[in-house]
Each structure stands twice: as C-alpha cells, then as structure tokens.
A = this chain, B = another copy of it.
Amino acid sequence: MNPELPVIAVLGGAGKQGSGLALRWAHAGHRVVIGSRTPERAAAVAAELNALLGEERVQGSDNRDAAHQAGIVVLAVPFAAQRATAEEVRDALDGKLLIDVTVPLVPPKVGRVQLPDGKSAVEAIQVLLGDATRVVSAFQNVSAHHLRKIGHEIDCDVLVCADDKAAGEQVVELAHAIGIRAWYAGPLANSVVAEGLTSVLISLNQRYKVPGAGIRITGIG
C-alpha cells in the first residue's frame, strides 16, 4: 500500500464492476474502501479481495462512511440506485472527484440504448451535486470478468468524459495505473456514447455469440 496515493471509495463495490475496479486500484497501491447498502456484504467482499491481494488493503463499510473516508469516490451502483446513492453521500463529496461508472440499462431490453431524458445519466448527477464536486464518467465498457484477473490485459479502451478537463485527465491516469488504456473524450454530454456503448456491446455479444465485445480507439499513438 502506498500512503501517498489517495484513498478510493467504491460505492456499490460489492457488485461485479465495483469489486473488479476496487481490486485493481488496491493492487496498484491505493487503500480502497468498499461501500454498500449492506456493510456486512462490503466486509465479505473486502476480505475476499484482500485474500487475492495477500495484504490488507481493502475495507468494507456503508456508502456514507466509505465516501467520507476517501479523496476519490467511485459510483458503481445499478442505474436504479444511482441518484439515491449520490444524494445519500452528497455531503461527503464537496471538493472531491466522483467517478460515475453508471450505465442506464433498462431491463429487460438491456441491448437497446434507452437514455434517461435523452441525455447521459451522469449529467443529471453533476447537476444534482453542483460545481463543488467534479464528476467524471468512465469505465462503463470494461468487462467485470477481465477486471477481476489482475495482470490480464484488458482488450477494451475507456472513454473518459468530464466538463472539468483536469479531472478527466486525472481519471485517465487512474485508468493507466490499473493497466487500462483510456482517453479524454470530451464533456459529460459525450458520455451518452460511453453509456450507450454498453448496450451496443451487449447487442454484439448476443448477435455474434461472444462473452465480452469491447472497443479500441485507433489512429492515436
């Protein structure tokens, strides 16, 4: 663990996507606090990740406590819980970076893009939290399955959207730190592409009978 690196809270971190990201950042040296509506579940997942890491780097807690402990907060809850969770931890977010991983999937048609109010889901969260919190959208398209395998190369790039460019670049670096190619892809409005892409990738998985289609950006570097 590197005490100079910021503490990262992963709200909804007992879920697949959240726990995969938690594992990768812990492996990269961050102290990670998993938040959950059920702190016992968060603690169980933290124990599981620590066993994989061979070191105590991950703790479990409730979402509010996790957000209070961290300098960077990751929102990795299902779409239906996105707004309520952001409201619940709101007073812990001032001056912090919030990385929103939410994909607005509307079951049962999860392979169909269904944007809330015709916008990206993350834009509403930035409006809710106001300017004191820098909201960044990222990591919607990376398969949880691949995140879980430390050292495994992830054949999918991450699109990072933020109205605050510096915050966006910081999340690009946080992706690089866990072995993922990432790109600053413009303002939060552009997150409709990252959020919608998850439904497109689900459609591709169904049509082509593969487990995990992804994207790579070409033409850079």
Contacts and interface: CB of A to CB of B under 8 A. Distances in A.
How many protomers of this protein does the assembly include? 2
A119 B215 CA distance: 22
A53 interface: no
B208 A218 contact: no
Interface in A175-221: 183-187, 189-190, 192-193, 196-197, 199-200, 203-204, 207-208, 210-221
Nearest to A197: B193
Interface residues of A, number: 40
Nearest to A169: B207
A113 B159 CA distance: 14
Interface in A118-148: 118-119
A217 B219 contact: no
A156 interface: yes
